[in-house]
Structure 1
Amino acid sequence: MTKMNPLALAIILCTMVSSHCIIIHPKSNANLIQQTCKQTPNYANCIHYLKSDPRSSDADVTGLALIMVDIIKSKANTALNKINQLIKGSHDQKEALNSCAGRYRAILVADVPKSVAALKQGDPKFAEDGANDVAIEATTCENGFKGKSPISDENIDMHDVAVITAAIVKQLL
């Protein structure tokens, strides 16, 4: 029987342990995502949003909440860009669009930064309040139109993401 160099043996063992951990870790985090999303009002969308972000593979619940706040920010920017384009055009609902623009700017300059800071500082109640504010802003925007809103899809998406975010943050309380 040949003797193995202790350094080579250590490298082999570390490699085996490391590769084993890599295999186990995503499974355990997939469980965290599933458990977290089961406590939200829209399991399927929650899973979709979180699994589509690579940061979720090693995030804790706070990290998952931060991912959702980033999704709020992205959707708010998209909605605000669409609103601004509609305002520039000859649209007959400029007053309602201007009101919505103000609401989406408030999401971006107040609710998102407040939620991020609260989550990073370990004060989830303010993050939950911020997410609930976002849902209210989107609903209020939608209700401000006489007839069909030209941004219904964006408002509905924003509301849905916000309530999922609030439900995730609530798990931290």
Structure 2
Amino acid sequence: MILASFSTFILLQLSISLGFFVPPIQSILSHTSLLEQICRQSPHYHLCVMTLRSSIHHRSKADIAGFAHLTLEIVNANASITLEHIPKFHGQTEDPKLKMALKDCLVSYNTIVKVHLREALNAMDVGDYRAVQQKAYVTIIEAESCNTKFRNLATSPLRDTNRYVQNLCAIAISIAKKLVLPYQLPTSI
């Protein structure tokens, strides 16, 4: 029961933490058209709008790069919370298969937070938007790898969290694609 509510707890905790900030109405209205345009072209329109609109007040200048950076920050916050809670759930279960799946997911989320998302945020800071796309894509793969660990188990305590990370990374990729000019050469061969 505790494990099943983990994903809900993570999403609720993130929503509550974002809710403490009351954005100025004028700021939201001035960025709404850009936000709508970006989210219409993303693979998860409603999640994009809900996430970015609730967090837009964090930006004094909301532009495409700012929205991409903000999306990665939100993914990182969610993944960091998940990373902190996996050991707690590992200790609360007696099921050896579930323990192994959680242990594997701990490795995946450690890599997501400490390598891929950190590198994606650093790449955003220096304007390497192709690297942002690559790191966000690898994060999607890591979250899916975690998901597959629960396939043959009765419970999947990280299913919703993994899906949230994957969907936000897909949004970040779609936003970062807008920042890559069509005539730029690839950064790696």
TM-score band w.r.t. shorter chain? 0.7 to 0.9
Structure 1 residue 90 displacement after superposition: 2.6
With over 3 angstroms needed to count, the CA separation of the structure-2 counterparts of 1:25 and 1:107, relative to structure 1, is same
Structure 1 stretch 110-119 or stretch 24-33: which is displaced more? 24-33
Task: Quote how far apart the aligned CAs of 1:170 are.
Answer: 1.2
Unpaired runs of at least 5, structure 2 = 1-23, 181-189
Which structure would you say has the larger Rg?
1
Residue 165 of structure 2: which of 137, 152, 158 is its match?
158
Question: What's the CA shift string for 1:105-129, capped at 9, x where partnerless?
Answer: 1111111111111111111000011
CA spacing shift, 1:55–1:91, aligned 2, 3 Å: same
Q: Decide whether the 8 Å contact of 1:76 with 1:108 is kept in 2.
A: yes
Code of the residue aligned with 2:50 in structure 1: it is H
The aligned length equals 152
Map of 2:70 onto structure 1: 67
Deviations for 1:5-42, whole angstroms, at most 9, x for unmatched residues?
xxxxxxxxxxxxxxxxx998754421111111111011
1:45 alignment counterpart: 47
Instruction: Note if contact 1:127-1:169 (Cα within 8 Å) is conserved in structure 2.
Output: yes
Q: Within 2, Cα distance between the matches of 1:98 and 1:24?
A: 46
Aligned pairs for 1:91-102 within 5 A: 91-92=94-95, 93-102=98-107
Runs of 4+ in structure 1 off by over 2 angstroms are 22-28, 55-58
C-alpha separation in 1, matches of 2:133 and 2:28: 27
Seen in structure 2, the aligned counterparts of structure 1 residues 62 and 89 have a Cα distance that, compared at 3 Å, is same
Query: Percent of counterpart pairs with the same letter?
Result: 29
The residue that corresponds to 2:82 in the other structure is: 79
> Contact 1:61–1:168 (CA<8 Å) still a contact in 2?
yes
Are the equivalent residues in 1 in contact too, given 2:28–2:53 (CA < 8 A)? no
SS in 2 for 1:79: helix
Query: CA 1:23/1:107 → structure 2, altered by over 3 Å: closer, same or farther?
Result: closer
1:89 aligns with one of 78, 84, 92 = 92
Q: Which one-letter code corresponds to 2:104 in the other structure? A: S
* Structure ranking higher in helix proportion: 1
Between the aligned partners of 2:117 and 2:25, the Cα distance in structure 1 is 34
CA distance in 1, matches of 2:45, 2:94: 37
Give the Å deviation of 1:159: 1.1
Q: Secondary structure at the match of 2:127?
A: coil
Paired residues of 1:29 and 1:57 also in contact (CA < 8 A): no
Q: Aligned AA for 2:93?
A: S
Q: Distance in 1 between matches of 2:67 and 2:38?
A: 9
SS of equivalent residue, structure 2 residue 134: helix
Give the CA RMSD over aligned residues: 1.9
TM-score (norm 1): 0.81
Q: Which is worse superposed, 77-86 or 64-73?
A: 77-86
Secondary structure at the counterpart of residue 179 of structure 2: coil
Provide structure 1 residue ranges, at least 5 long, that are not aligned to the other structure.
1-21
